[in-house]
A = this chain, B = another copy of it.
């Protein structure tokens, strides 16, 4: 083990004290220009790199940001992690990742650990619309925190997510245009903010004058929910013209299971998804879906977080990014 170079060694080699060496390298105090040059040269030659742990102990800052997602296995969250990680690295931060598996206890345990480890900031997709609030408030009082995709209260901490109202509007308008006059919503329950918002958006936006709205089916955002919804739909007397799904996974699970029942999309039924994951664009039928601008969401969220880390005490902000509609085969006539 080549024994990492310490500041002391650099100082000795340059013939100065550690204090001066530190100042020369950080460059924010008055040190003679030639001393700076000499120390820098020696440091480079010896391959000196600051010990982030020692610095963290002294500074109380780690240049690490923690992120908690409900389930990394969902491609949407995988893409979100990817985007967040990219933004963080650009800013010189590392990403400490944790998976709450949608469980409140796990989530709050992870938050505590992040606090103990003195991460500089936290990016979280809260697992619960209301019950996540307590832990978030507690940790958020100590550490800059931004909610992404879902929220546990927009007054709690900065939040960035997609505008679900616009998204559902796009989907509804599209299927209406394609002639659908009876609809069923298949989405997630009221545990998450997205679950609530998308349902409300659907409920408020749909024009009950001109279309018939069937009993909604609500579970979570998974393939399994889509499949279960398919079973339920088939069991009903008649099929709607279109199903508005609250996630791509739901839509895919639904389409797959419907086919097993002999119901073909879009022949017998139109379907729209939500998220715009890459995989939804591959198999037939390709999905008509509301595309979330993941990079933009991530960029905004990290922007908020970094400004908080930099000390901003601006009022809590909440930002909604507009999604777009990608028309695929699942709503073809």
A118 touching B53 in the complex, CB below 8 Å, given contacts A75-B73, A78-B78, A282-B253: yes
Q: Does A31 contact B (CB under 8 A)?
A: no
Contacts of A79 in B (CB 8 A): 73
Cβ of A99 and Cβ of B73 under 8 Å apart? no
Q: Of residues A49, A118, A282, A286, which shows the largest number of chain B Cβ atoms within 10 Å of its Cβ?
A: A282
Q: How far is the CA of A255 from the CA of B285 in the complex (A)?
A: 12
Q: Does A267 contact B (CB under 8 A)?
A: no
Taking a contact as CB atoms closer than 8 A, the residue among B73, B94, B223, B283 that contacts A113 in the complex is: B94
Contacts of A153 in B (CB 8 A): none
Q: Does A228 contact B (CB under 8 A)?
A: no
- Least Cβ–Cβ distance between A2 and chain B, in angstroms: 8
Nearest opposing residue in chain B for A226, CB measure: B282
Cβ of B95 and Cβ of A96 under 8 Å apart? yes
A223 touching B282 in the complex, CB below 8 Å, given contacts A94-B117, A98-B85, A99-B82: yes
Q: How far is the CA of A132 from the CA of B189 in the complex (A)?
A: 46
Q: How far is the CA of A84 from the CA of B53 in the complex (A)?
A: 24
Contacts of A72 in B (CB 8 A): 72, 78, 81-82, 85
Q: Does A62 contact B (CB under 8 A)?
A: yes
Contacts of A85 in B (CB 8 A): 72, 97-99
A117 touching B52 in the complex, CB below 8 Å, given contacts A73-B79, A252-B283, A253-B282: yes
- State the number of copies, please: 2
Q: Does A256 contact B (CB under 8 A)?
A: yes
Nearest opposing residue in chain B for A64, CB measure: B96
Nearest opposing residue in chain B for A75, CB measure: B75
Taking a contact as CB atoms closer than 8 A, the residue among B57, B71, B97, B279 that contacts A279 in the complex is: B279
Q: How far is the CA of A82 from the CA of B64 in the complex (A)?
A: 20
Q: Does A142 contact B (CB under 8 A)?
A: yes
**Interface size classification for chain A:** 35 or more
Q: How far is the CA of A97 from the CA of B66 in the complex (A)?
A: 10
Contacts of A62 in B (CB 8 A): 53
Cβ of B94 and Cβ of A96 under 8 Å apart? yes
Contacts of A282 in B (CB 8 A): 223, 252-253, 256
Cβ of B99 and Cβ of A97 under 8 Å apart? no
Contacts of A283 in B (CB 8 A): 252, 255-256, 283-284
Q: How far is the CA of A85 from the CA of B89 in the complex (A)?
A: 20
- Least Cβ–Cβ distance between A262 and chain B, in angstroms: 12
Taking a contact as CB atoms closer than 8 A, the residue among B142, B253, B255, B279 that contacts A1 in the complex is: B142
Contacts of A142 in B (CB 8 A): 1-2
- Least Cβ–Cβ distance between A269 and chain B, in angstroms: 15
- Least Cβ–Cβ distance between A77 and chain B, in angstroms: 8
Query: Could you pull out 10 A-B pairs where Cβ atoms are within 8 angstroms?
Result: A51-B118, A72-B82, A72-B85, A81-B97, A89-B98, A94-B96, A94-B117, A95-B98, A252-B283, A259-B284
Beyond A73-B79, A85-B98, 18 additional contacts (C-beta under 8 Å) are A2-B142, A51-B118, A52-B116, A52-B117, A52-B118, A53-B62, A57-B57, A73-B75, A73-B78, A75-B75, A75-B78, A85-B99, A94-B117, A97-B97, A223-B278, A255-B283, A256-B286, A279-B279
